[in-house]
Amino acid sequence: MRIKKILNNNVAISENIDGQEIIVAGCGIAFKKKIGDELDESLIEKVFVSSDNQTKKKIQVLLDEIPIEYIRITDKIARYTNEVFKKELNDITYIGIADHIYRSVERFITSGELVNGLLWDIKRLYKDEFEVGLYALEVIKEELKIQMPEDEAAFIATHIINAKLKETIPNVIDITKLINEILNIVKYNLLLDLDEETQSCYYFINNIKFLAQKVVNNRKSKDIGEYDQVYIATTKSFPREYYCVEKITEFIERKYKYLLNIDERVLLTLQIVKIKNEKN
């Protein structure tokens, strides 16, 4: 494996066995090397492969700026994420996390402050992703001897959520806010203390995560008729719960210009009914 281009002492561009251009990172991998030299493959800590030129350029730019220890930190986080979700992080998410941690640590060292306004929401609505964030704090402490606050765990969790939902970070933030807004409408209108540890509440929150993603992206779906037969019966049998869902519908239409269809409304109503029954 020969060097095609050197980005810095720790990052170089080469080709794999298939002739595909790759970016390799490792401590001192390109130190005192020149183009055409053989790489010491035992020094390789991370290989980035991308056929998309724009993504490749972005990875190169970020790797040229990020110290190698942050790649090492991110690699541990990526392996743990794979253990939790059984899915590998793509290269752009991987390098995005490394870049975020590097800049976040620099900011924390400089100011001593790091505040995430969505900490509580991320912590309760995305528990598995937040657990990855907490693991990341342990890795950062082990590698850099710096104790970051839980706010940073929530920031890192957002990157994991972004990868799972295939959304941009701003969309993840909007989706999280909408989930919380829907839950607050339910609590206020039905005076219901939601126990988010119960199975029915877990399914309800998962459903509104999916719904919130559609709303934020304005991906309207047509009624499939699944609940046509129970629509009238539902409104008559569960008027308070359906009234609550109508409040949710009005709020979403007013703020997000998205009108929930009948299937979506009936499903929300039935799930709220199940939550209430489980509490009684």
Cα 19 from Cα 155, distance rounded (Å): 37
Map residue 24 onto helix, strand or coil: strand
Map residue 54 onto helix, strand or coil: helix
Residue 30 lies in a domain: yes
Q: How far is CA 62 from CA 25, 76, 110, in A?
A: 12, 19, 21
- Tell me the percentage of the chain whose pLDDT exceeds 90: 52
Q: Is the CB of residue 21 less than 8 Å from the CB of residue 91?
A: no
Q: Is the CB of residue 40 less than 8 Å from the CB of residue 33?
A: no
pLDDT category at 278 given cuts 50, 70, 90 is: confident
Q: Which residue has the tokens 């020969």?
A: 2
pLDDT category at 143 given cuts 50, 70, 90 is: very high
Total domains in the fold of the chain: 3
Residue 95 lies in a domain: yes
Which of 23, 156, 147 is CA-nearest to residue 80? 156
Strands (DSSP E) contained in the chain are 5-8, 11-15, 21-25, 46-49
One domain for residues 143 and 183: no
Query: What is the separation, in whole angstroms, between the first and last Cα of the chain?
Result: 67
Cα 217 from Cα 153, distance rounded (Å): 26
One domain for residues 87 and 151: yes
Cα 212 from Cα 237, distance rounded (Å): 26
pLDDT of residue 202: 86
pLDDT of residue 229: 64
pLDDT tens across 250-272, in order? 999 999 999 998 888 988 999 99
Q: Which amino acid is at 140?
A: I
Which helix (H) or strand (E) element contains residue 46? strand 46-49
pLDDT tens across 99-141, in order? 999 999 999 999 888 999 999 999 989 999 999 999 999 999 9
One domain for residues 122 and 175: no
Domain boundary among 166, 194, 212: 166
One domain for residues 30 and 116: no
Cα 5 from Cα 36, distance rounded (Å): 9
- Mean pLDDT calculated for residue range 63-80: 93
One domain for residues 178 and 159: no
Helix, strand, coil tally for the chain in percent (to 5): 65, 5, 30
- 55-59, 125-129, 236-240: which has the minimum mean pLDDT? 55-59
Question: Where in the sequence is the domain holding 14, given as residue range(s)?
Answer: 5-52
Q: Which residue has the tokens 């990020």?
A: 66
Q: Which residue has the tokens 């752009």?
A: 92
Cα 73 from Cα 69, distance rounded (Å): 6
Which of 155, 30, 168 is CA-nearest to residue 100? 155
pTM of the model: 0.81
- 9-18, 162-171, 229-238: which has the minimum mean pLDDT? 229-238
Instruction: Find the CATH number of the domain harbouring 220.
Output: 1.10.1790.10
